[in-house]
A and B are shown apart, each in its own frame.
Chain A
């Protein structure tokens, strides 16, 4: 096992695939894995990989995303498939875990953490992280950009001393300081691309919701679905102001009420990543973190081994 065990969530892998140009990041990760000193090991839970396969092309869907040219989408889809095969090889050990501990292991962890949602990638990764930490007697870093999940499972990681839950920004910085040839400009570029991935989704969701509001919310709509109309206005307002506090509650509201307005939930469901940006009062959102990190790396050097020797 590598010095740093990096367990990746679906959103982090999808982000890495979409922000990577010319396989720059994949080559970096691969070379670190092959290094004699084994600085990192990348792992992905099996269910998480299935989630990646299902969702990795969502951002390409014609007419719903920033990609509008169908011939270009084909090319991008091919590139994504190639990148996906790189990560396919990382889902290598959760099978062993199940054969050792049995299928009920997930239920056991679900009950212990008090998780009320159905078993999903984040829960399986938490269970897998616990197993890996005990098996290899190592700290495990679980990288996810699903901030509500991060908030929920962080306490468990801490109490069980599994390791820590981090996000894609942290993962990129880890790769940066581990790789001597990864320079600051390249780090700024990938962080900017990561910011853009989320900011574009926010802008597209806002646009779609505004369009829906302008076309559909009329007197008749207000008479029959006033609460939905006002919730929709609230959500648009939050997206305009980039306020993500409790934004998951809007997703849940529209999910619960999807029979009353299916069309609206279809839009919202498509931009689920936006609802993962949620912040509570105390914490910053992923977008804020990227902006802060960009300022920090300008003001403060992130030391690599060679920098330490040189100084």
Chain B
């Protein structure tokens, strides 16, 4: 193998399929209109108080999960917040649970990512305002006490985390009695109420966080749940939007699949949820021009040094041929083929990747001609 960077003039393989662990490697290339839609939607939620539900719709490998990861990056959210002159959103991405207890699993996924210690430091200067605000949220005194305990530095942050996870025994629970917490959290109503209250607190007056952005990825998996859990999931979304009327932006990533097509969407996403969808962002298969623009931008981001050919190490004719050969397919399919092509060329020390190289590996990189 040759020195990859010097030969291919790329920092690394830009088409890698494994999700990058380093947020710096999660980049956005091309697809300007989709990107703008997300930016506008997030900016809007940063600025104005209304809660919103957005459905992101597309086939497998069309980029929905990538969009969630990209717009979950702190630097991207910071930029959007600065444009509006507001504080950064609190953002989190979770996959729709397929288990027996979807609401509990959603709750746990959010609590897992909640850093109570950091939260208390951030909110330390407004904690006196938070308590009266919590008193105004609903009428459930138990839930109010739990929410106050999250922000109360007198209670060990690990103790309250343990409580939120439901891992406290009866003796340990006694230590929280003085804070008005007399029982454990026990059902979906408790979990939804805690999340709703927490989201409201986090975005109090948009002071510390301008909004909460919750991405539920793989929402199509609602089609594999039983009827009771389909009900629970729909009710959860409806309730959370109703009880957090302000500052919540909920994205549902939904893959059009054999299990869930446009026709039977209504069977799984109830009218009570559908009627709350403010926008649908569609992830379509790229046409040749859109794909080539994406490719140029992606390569430019990963470029090491300079090259006159924006597609280098690929010759443009290779890209054109691949587009014709694959036909109308998802972005992931293009990425898969180009990733293999660059790896195979690297293994055999072939550069640039011209038509001769392409023809040699064509049968290795195209699994099923579109």
**Chain A: residues with CB nearer than 8 A to chain B?**
66-69, 72, 188-189, 192-193, 195-196, 199-200, 202-204, 213-215, 218-220, 222-223, 226, 229-230, 233-234, 237, 240-243
Contact = CB atoms under 8 A, between A and B. Distances in A.
A66 B100 contact: yes
A60 B67 CA distance: 32
Interface in B222-247: 223-229
Contact of A242 (B228, B259, B340): B259
A220 B343 contact: yes
A240 B343 contact: no
Given A213-B17, A222-B343, A222-B344, 6 more contacts: A66-B100, A203-B224, A214-B18, A219-B342, A222-B365, A223-B344
Given A222-B364, A240-B60, A192 B227 contact: yes
A8 B34 CA distance: 53
Interface extent on B, as a size class?
Answer: 20 to 34
A237 B98 CA distance: 20
Contacts of A237: 368
A189 B60 contact: no
B48 interface: no
Nearest to A232: B367
Nearest to A219: B343
A223 B347 contact: yes
Contact of B368 (A220, A226, A234): A234
A202 B224 contact: yes
Contact of B347 (A72, A192, A199, A220): A220
B99 A68 contact: yes
A173 B168 CA distance: 44
B346 interface: yes
B347 A240 contact: no
Contacts of A68: 99, 105
Top 7 A-B residue pairs of the complex, sorted by shortest distance between their CB atoms: A219-B343, A199-B224, A242-B258, A196-B226, A214-B17, A192-B227, A66-B99
A219 B344 contact: yes
B224 A233 contact: no
A222 B340 contact: yes
Nearest to A76: B100
B343 A199 contact: no
Contacts of A66: 97-100
B39 interface: no
Contact of B364 (A202, A226, A234): A226
B95 to A, nearest CB: 9
A242 B60 CA distance: 13
Nearest to A204: B98
A189 B228 CA distance: 8
A230 B340 CA distance: 13
Contacts of A213: 17
A69 B257 CA distance: 28
Contacts of A195: 226
Contacts of A234: 367-368
B284 interface: no
A200 B224 contact: yes
B221 interface: yes
A200 B17 contact: no
A219 B13 CA distance: 12
A192 B100 CA distance: 13
B49 to A, nearest CB: 35
A311 B340 CA distance: 68
A170 B60 CA distance: 34
B319 to A, nearest CB: 19
A106 to B, nearest CB: 37
Contacts of B342: 219
Contacts of A240: 60, 257-258
Contacts of A204: 98
29 contacts: A66-B98, A66-B100, A68-B105, A189-B227, A195-B226, A196-B225, A196-B226, A199-B223, A200-B98, A203-B224, A213-B17, A215-B17, A215-B18, A219-B343, A219-B344, A219-B346, A220-B347, A222-B365, A223-B344, A226-B364, A229-B367, A233-B368, A234-B367, A234-B368, A237-B368, A240-B60, A240-B257, A241-B258, A242-B258
